[in-house]
Amino acid sequence: MTDMDQALASLKQYFGYESFRPGQAGLVEAILSGRDCLGVMPTGAGKSICYQIPATILDGVTIVISPLVSLMRDQVDSLEDAGIRAGFVNSTQSPDEQGMVLAQAARGECKLLYVAPERLNAPRFLDFAQRVNIALLAVDEAHCVSQWGQDFRPAYLGIGDFIESLPARPRVAAFTATATEQVRRDIVKMLRLSDPYLAVTGFDRPNLFFDVVKLETKAKNAWVCSYAKDHQDESGIVYCATRKETEALAQALVRHGVTATNYHGGLSPDQRDKAQAEFVNDEVQVVVATNAFGMGIDKSNVRYVIHHNMPESIEAYYQEAGRAGRDGEPARCTLLWNESDIVTRRRLLDLDSGNDRLSGPEAEAVRAGHRRLLNTMIGYCRTTSCLHEYMLHYFGEEVDHAAADVSPAAADGPQEAGADQKSGQRGCGNCSNCLSTFSTIDVSDLARAISRCVHDVGQRFGSGKIVQVLAGSKSQDLLSRGLDRCPSYGALEGVSPARVRDVVNQMASDGYLTITEGRLPLVQFGPKAGLTVSPDFHYEMKQVQRKRLTVAPPD
Ligand code: ADP
């Protein structure tokens, strides 16, 4: 019987499954052959089985390092139910209980032993680790080792030393759902993985229709209400950035005749349980929630997830949006955003101390990491190429959509004069970009005027003031500062303020301007500022020309 025959037999015997999911077999095989490995898969894809199956086959104990103390008991209970001997040692137990579990494991009565990373410093555990045969060290949520990710946990940094202190080096298998290149490199480096087998899979969710809609803040509630009203027989989750927004939007939905409730961390446990139960049992159609909602929610028929605001990272977005369509049926994930969301996010990020346990340069490194995550999220909002591809590419997974050019709209409609029309370049056929046509408009004059205005006001004001000055606003604050006397005052009178703000933000992301990252962000010149005064300066902005599909995902 080969290793993999044995693995399949274990899969069937203990878990009742006939076959491995994508990515699992490769990881199991690598572990059984003695290799280190790194598995990158989204939540729910089945990472646990990748180390649990080898644990049932290998001689010795598998130590599982997991940050989630609260879940250890459940994990161990379900393994025991499946007939696999398992235990955990953590701070919820008395020293006697801990001693008992370690003694059992030392006698070989435990195939898997779950511990939190902090345990690796406990003398009693270290003593145990010196005496037993550790077949495999599985590191769950391995991104916690990286300061570039969202969930840095300093105790993870001790894992590398722990491994080296062992009399015989076990194979080490690391798992995470976070996949930025930087985090992945950190995992390999900090855990000192040796030539690890890498598997990145399971991120594609072909039944999800991804949709990005740029909307002014004040139009968002109406959009959500109208969508929910048009989909009265469907379950949906709407994620908002603040508790207050969840309340206001849930009330607005109810006024529109949609059954809705709201959910956030400020509610009492009873209220939260009630809201969750109502949603799960289909007593209310929509739950409007902060990101506190969703962990452990098992509702397969969520037909849409709307984000009322841009999340802080693609990981966060994908996890929340991914709660739609768990049953494999078509579902829609819509992200409503605008440029001021970006400014707010950047500001929040700056106010956030990063990580309470860190200070000085380390805290700055964490913040820089968060900024990078945010920038990829912004990229998702702004990209005109396939949204499925953008995400899969982000997660490092191979993309396998037919490379067909889908420009169904381009052939059958009038073109805006001078507009260069493009469709999404590749065709997943299941995202708003692949079903839209984009046009580019010339905003060179606007960009020049903005640049001049930033100069006129001495780089001392934020984008709100710049927009007001260019519009020739009569606001008291502006007049009292004498800004009506600067040469750019009124230079873009008649141009919509939203358009000017968009161009300011695009110039900032293209390096013509920078927006300082303080409490009151100022618009200043960026590294490419000088180019705007060149006679050859030409600047364009992309626009969604026409949506082929604005309401329902295709069947
Ligand atoms: P993750 O750790 O990646 O979040 P889990 O390991 O908790 O995911 O697995 C999610 C679910 O998928 C579990 O209910 C698990 O039993 C199930 N699962 C895992 N592998 C398979 C498989 N090969 N076939 C069917 N179901 C599977």
Minimum CA distance residue for ligand 1 atom 26 = 17
- Do 304 and 233 form a contact (C-beta atoms < 8 A)? no
Q: If you measure from the C-alpha of residue 201 to the centroid of ligand 1, how many angstroms do you get, rounded to a whole number? A: 13
pLDDT tens-digit readout, 272-308: 999 999 999 999 999 999 998 887 677 999 999 999 9
DSSP-derived letter for residue 93 is S
Query: Residue 546 phi/psi, 5° resolution?
Result: -160, 135
The residue whose CA has the least distance to atom 5 of ligand 1 is 46
Alpha-carbon distances, residue 257 vs 46, 146, 214, 251, 284 (angstroms): 39, 46, 25, 10, 11
Query: Is 43 touching ligand 1 by the criterion CB < 6 Å?
Result: yes
* Alpha carbons 281 and 297: distance in angstroms, whole number: 12
* pLDDT for 487 beyond 60: yes
Distance 47 CA to ligand 1 centre (A): 7
Report the alpha-carbon angle 318-547-401, nearest 5.
50
Q: From the CA of 233, how far away is ligand 1's center (Å)?
A: 30
Q: Which one of 48, 65, 71, 112 would you pick to mutate in the ligand 1 pocket, going by the greatest count of ligand atoms within 8 A of its CB? A: 48
pLDDT, mean of residues 355-374: 73
DSSP secondary structure string, 3-47? HHHHHHHHIIIII--SSPPTTHHHHHHHHHTT--EEEE--TTS--
For range 49-72, the mean pLDDT: 94
| Cross-strand bridge partners of residue 173 | 37, 138
The 3-state secondary structure of 140-188, one letter per residue:
CCHHHHCCCCCCCCHHHHHHHHHHHHCCCCCEEEEEECCCCHHHHHHHH
By percentage, how much of the chain surpasses pLDDT 90?
65
Residue 77 phi, psi dihedral angles, 5° rounding: -60, -45
Q: What is the pLDDT of residue 429?
A: 84
pLDDT value of residue 411 = 29
Regarding the beta carbon of 7 and ligand 1, being less than 6 Å apart is answered no
How far apart CA 20 and CA 188 sit, in angstroms, is: 25
Q: From the CA of 94, how far away is ligand 1's center (Å)?
A: 31
11 Cα: distance to centroid of ligand 1 (angstroms): 11
Q: Is 46 in the pocket of ligand 1 (CB under 6 A)?
A: yes
104-128 pLDDT per residue, tens: 999 999 999 999 999 999 999 999 9
Q: How far is CA 417 from CA 220, 414, 421, 438, 443, in A?
A: 30, 9, 10, 13, 15
Cβ within 8 Å of residue 229, ≥6 positions away: 256, 257, 258
Q: Is the CB of 10 under 6 A from ligand 1?
A: no
**ipTM of this predicted complex?**
0.98
Going from the C-alpha of 535 to that of each of 45, 415, 446, 488, the distances in angstroms are 54, 28, 14, 19
Q: What is the pLDDT of residues 323-351, one digit of tens each?
A: 999 888 999 999 999 877 887 787 777 77
Does the Cβ of 24 fall within 6 Å of ligand 1?
yes
Query: In DSSP terms, which residues pair with 441 in a beta bridge?
Result: 541
Is 78 close to ligand 1, i.e. is its CB under 6 Å away?
no
pLDDT recorded at residue 510: 74
Half-sphere CA count of 19, side-chain side, radius 13 A: 3
Choose among 73, 61, 208: nearest CA to 125. 61
- Whether residue 524 is predicted with pLDDT greater than 80 in this model: the reply is yes
For all residues of the chain together, what is the average pLDDT? 87
**Looking at the predicted structure, is the pLDDT value of residue 39 above 50?**
yes
Q: Residue 404 pLDDT > 80, yes or no?
A: no
Q: Does ligand 1 have an atom closer than 6 angstroms to the CB of 17?
A: yes
Q: Whose CA is nearest to atom 27 of ligand 1?
A: 46
Return the pLDDT at 375.
85
Reported as a single tens digit per residue, the pLDDT across 157-214 is 999 999 999 999 999 999 998 877 788 899 999 999 999 999 998 888 999 999 999 8
Residue 43 CA: nearest ligand 1 atom is 4
With a cut of 60, say whether residue 551 has pLDDT above it. Answer: no
> Tell me, what's the pLDDT at 68?
84
Q: What percent of the chain has pLDDT over 70?
A: 89
Cα–Cα distance measured from residue 331 to residue 318, given in angstroms and rounded to the nearest whole number: 14
Beta bridge partners of 62: 112, 136
pLDDT of residue 149: 67
**Cα(252)–Cα(260) distance, rounded to whole angstroms?**
9
Centre of ligand 1 to C-alpha 241, Å, is 30
Ligand 1 centroid – CA 257 distance (Å): 38
Check residue 416 and give its pLDDT: 31
Cβ–Cβ under 8 Å, residues 378 and 339: no
Instruction: Evaluate the CA torsion angle 78, 81, 82, 84 in order and state its sign.
Output: positive
User: How many angstroms separate the alpha carbon of residue 270 from the centre of ligand 1?
Assistant: 30
